[in-house]
Structure 1
Amino acid sequence: MPVFHDSVADSRLALPPGCEERCPGCTHRRFTAAASEAQKMDWLRRRLAPWAEQLQPLATVAEAERWSYRRKVCLSVVWSDAAGWQFGLWRRDELIPIPDCPVHGGLIRALVHSLMKVLPLQPQFPLAFFVQSGAQATLIVKTHRVTSLDWLAELPWDALTAGGLEGLWLHRHPAAGRRLFARNGWQWLWGEPRSRDAFGLIYGPTAFQQLIPALYDRALATAEAFLAPTAASGIADLYCGIGASLMRWAAYDARVIGVELGGEAVDCARLNAPGAQILRGKCADRIPQLRDWAQQSAAPRLLYVNPPRTGLESEVLGWAVNEFRPERLAYLSCSAGTLSRDLSGLAGAGYAVEALHPYDFFPQTHHVETLALLRRIA
């Protein structure tokens, strides 16, 4: 994780209303846009030092778009006899309430305030987490049974609908914690069970969505231009989510296979990219199926990966460089540390890094994502 010096922050910068100074979420809240960009680029240059010459300028958004951009959040929720329901983030052992967080979209703030007013008291309603994914919201309670949902009638549905809410869910999950979602215990409370994002893709309440659609579209377009798929291509898309990238490859009538762990994401990906073959499971566990698929795929072979922070599984990296051997590879990473590790492995197997494109998907924070473009040279 990046380490930042206090001297970079400017205490004279006024924070927007609702920004809680103690909140651990936005470490760059008192950085100017230029200072934040400089810190992120310095971090990438150090972590990706062997390929610093390939590092491109950081793709950012306009100043006005650096706030109110989050459409996906997970907030912890606690009950206080003195303050009622509080929605926020933990700082050590203290929950910092952030109901008016200016990074959150307006719908999130409106729904949080509405819920604070109408939810039953504990222990009748042991709410532990509030999760919002775009237009779908979920209340996670640590119980198998909720006795009454009468409070639903008190929510300002017209105003919430006008603000963009399309679905509300209850998830009964007594063991909720580091793992938020379980397979069972889901109850659809209101609205539609699925929505469409800025690209027209279908998604549900547990879907992962990249923030700032305009930047994500640029990243996908850059990957697409580099991979240059055709109808003759065989493209493997690993950690494919709901199919935003799959949809692009399938549009070329290429032979496409995707792998994704989340069941709901797989269901949505099959709707969003009907021309692609999609496997559910860990990518490492699906290597036998990937191997069978690859044997039927003629050149050129292409690979697109968007792994979690832990990076590529060692088995996946081994399959890619020793068996699949794609001509070109695009790797969208949310961790410069694991990206550096994986790029070293790819370089040792005959791949050259042609470009590293960083994207500021998380303004006001230290997080930065990088798209690596590699070509096989040996």
Structure 2
Amino acid sequence: MQENIPKGCNSLCRACAHRNITSEESAEQKMAWLAHALSPWGKELRSIKTPLAQERWGYREKVSLLTQWSQEARWQIGMIACKHFVNLQTCPIHSERVRKMILWISESIPTPEIFSLSLYAQTGKQATLILKTNVKPDLCWLVEHEKYLSQTGIEGLWLHLHPSAGRRLFGKRNWHLLWGKPRSYNEMGLIYGPTAFQQLIPNLYIQSLREAQDFLTPQKNDSIIDLYCGSGASLRLWTIFGARTIGVEISAEAVENASINAPLAQILRGTCSLRIPQLNEWAKNTPLQHRLAYVNPPRVGLEPDVRHWLATEYRPLRLAYLSCNAGTLARDLAFFEGNGYFVEHITPYDFFPNTYHVETLTLLQRKGECPYFHLGLNKFHYETCSSSLVIKKVCFSKTTLSV
């Protein structure tokens, strides 16, 4: 059993299913689940990559939480569990920045009659107050609370008026920047906004990008398609190594940020399935041996027509697939194997410690092709030399992705 749960953990909270077991037990459970869900590829399944001990708590910088006006005449921030409101003001999984903002809300925002707060969302240094209305409320109260707001670590505070907010948290319109600046930089030097998705443990995410880059080895003669590319972390990496790069992303904010984070990449906005004609046109002059792909789909996995197009038309020599759902990953891998691909290996990443969630990076190779021919190296030399030949060319900075 877990012996050192930090103070402040609410026993009614259902978010952290593994908080009462050790990190070793959690890893074993996740590996057991993956071994079951990905049983056809059991031999290719590697040991799970886990975060450092100090990264297992206080790591959650992206939250979407409910609000409630309490009998103590202050706002509470939390979730609904078993039809009861669970106050998460002192949650030890939340980062210090999130905890400070929750405290600021409880002490600063006036009554529901003045400011009818419904939801609170935070992504890193960008925070959003969500009201289920189209009517902008009186904001005179904000002036006297700005001083403490500047001490929370937040750089931008937004008001979002969204009458139908719920399962779908954000709408397209009625965004108002109340305080600070509209964009921030994360630990990897990437710009992001209030609706961005970001992996919560940067060091571990960087490891996964390293592994994908080490396998794909994009070079100047290669073309790489990056689907569900988000704010451009992976896009920037491919362009750093000289590869011709295109990404597809549905979020307008993410596309805007990706164009700044990866200015050398071409970026298409929309669903991946609707962008297949443009992707075909972009790739038509690239020989098969120079086609690469990186995909990071949501939990539903690859769209059926995207999966079919990748495996039967675009046919990349190598493909890296970061998945957050082993079930849909198994479905997609079976399709790829039925269309001339084999799985090199699967590496699990514990991006969400103390929960049951686990992500995996799968590396696929087109059958009949040697993945090392383009380097002029055999496999042994490639594996022992790759980090010095490739990885170390990139360093930490505000303008360069840190890998």
TM, length-normalised to structure 1 = 0.94
Greater alpha carbon shift after TM alignment, 120-129 vs 316-325 = 120-129
Aligned partner of 1:368 in structure 2 is: 358
Q: What does residue 295 of structure 1 align with?
A: 284
Report the Cα offset of residue 252 of structure 1: 2.0
Alignment counterpart, residue 239 of structure 2, candidates 247, 250, 265: 250
Tell me the equivalent position of 1:341.
331
In structure 1, C-alpha distance between the alignment counterparts of 2:303 and 2:137, rounded to whole Å:
43
User: How far has the Cα of 1:162 moved from its partner?
Assistant: 4.4
In the other structure, the counterpart of 1:167 is 156
Structure 1 contact 231–255 (Cα < 8 Å) conserved:
yes
Distance in 1, matches of 2:71 and 2:285, equals 64
Q: Secondary structure at the match of 1:349?
A: coil
Instruction: Measure how far apart 1:156 and its partner are.
Output: 5.5
SS at match of 2:231: coil
Are 1:305 and 2:295 counterparts?
yes
Equivalent residues of 1:255, 1:297 under 8 A apart:
no
Q: Which residue of 1 aligns with 2:320?
A: 330
Q: Tell me by how many angstroms 1:48 deviates.
A: 0.6
Report the CA distance shift for 1:163/1:86 in structure 2 as closer, same or farther (over 3 A): closer
Aligned to 1:125: 115
* Deviation of the 1:151 alpha carbon: 2.3
Partner of 2:394: none
SS at 2:212 equivalent: helix
Aligned to 1:48: 38
Matched letter for residue 69 of structure 1: Y
Partner of 2:385: none
Confirm or deny that 1:192 pairs with 2:181.
yes
Aligned to 1:112: 102
CA distance in 1, matches of 2:80, 2:280: 44
Deviation at 1:56, TM superposition (A): 1.1
2:265 aligned partner: 276
Judge which range, 163-172 or 146-155, deviates more.
146-155
Q: Contact between 1:125 and 1:146, CA under 8 Å: does it hold in 2?
A: no
Contact 1:144-1:174 at 8 Å conserved across structures: yes
Is there any run of 5+ residues in structure 2 with no aligned partner, and where? 369-403
Which SS does the other structure have where 2:20 is aligned? Answer: coil
Specify which of 78, 83, 88 is matched with residue 93 of structure 1. Answer: 83
**Matched AA of 1:155:** H
In 2, the alpha carbon distance for the partners of 1:83 and 1:352 equals 60
Deviations 1:223-251 (A, max 9, x none): 00100100000100000000000000011
Q: Relative to structure 1, is the Cα distance of residues 271 and 72 closer, same or farther in structure 2, using a 3 angstrom cutoff?
A: same
Aligned-partner residue type, residue 257 of structure 1:
I
Task: From 151, 154, 161, give the equivalent of 2:141.
Answer: 151
Task: Give the Å deviation of 1:127.
Answer: 1.2
More displaced stretch, 47-56 vs 143-152: 143-152
SS of residue matched to 1:87: strand
Corresponding residue pairs, total: 367
1:39 equivalenced with 2:13 (yes/no):
no
> How many angstroms does 1:256 deviate by?
0.7
Contact 2:218 2:242 in 1 (8 A): no
Supply the AA of the counterpart residue of 1:342.
Answer: D
How much does 1:82 deviate?
Answer: 4.3
Deviation at 1:123, TM superposition (A): 3.2
Matched to 1:279, the amino acid is L
Sort the Cα spacing of 1:230 and 1:194 in 2 relative to 1 into closer, same or farther, 3 A. same
User: Which stretch has the larger CA shift, 142-151 or 183-192?
Assistant: 142-151
Query: Would you say the 8 A contact 1:350–1:377 is kept in 2?
Result: yes
The 5 Å alignment of 1:228-243 reads 228-243=217-232
| CA root-mean-square deviation | 1.3
Amino acid aligned to 1:349: N
Kept in 1, the 8 Å contact 2:101–2:152? The answer is no
Q: CA deviation at 1:93?
A: 2.2
Amino acid at match of 1:124: I
What corresponds to 1:4 in structure 2?
A: none
Shift, 1:152, TM fit: 1.5
1:26 aligns with 2:16: yes
Q: Which residue of 2 aligns with 1:214?
A: 203
Describe the SS at the equivalent of 1:155: helix
Letter of the 1:56 counterpart: R
Q: d(CA) in 2 for partners of 1:156 and 1:267?
A: 28
TM-score w.r.t. length of structure 2: 0.89
1:227 aligns with 2:216: yes
How much has 1:14 moved relative to structure 2? Answer: 4.7
Correspondence for 1:180: 169
Distance in 1, matches of 2:276 and 2:315, equals 14
Residues 248/14 of structure 1: CA separation in 2 closer, same or farther (3 Å cut): closer
Give the structure 2 partner of residue 5 of structure 1.
none
List per-residue Cα deviations over 1:273-315 (Å, max 9, x = no partner): 1111100001011111111111132341000000000000001
Shift of 1:209: 0.5
Separation (CA, whole Å) in 1 of partners of 2:295 and 2:329: 11
Distance 1:234 1:147 in 2: 50
Q: CA deviation at 1:258?
A: 0.2
Cα offset, 1:65, TM superposition: 1.6
* One-letter amino acid of the structure 1 residue matched with residue 48 of structure 2: L
**In the TM superposition, what is the alpha-carbon distance from 1:83 to its structure 2 partner?**
5.4
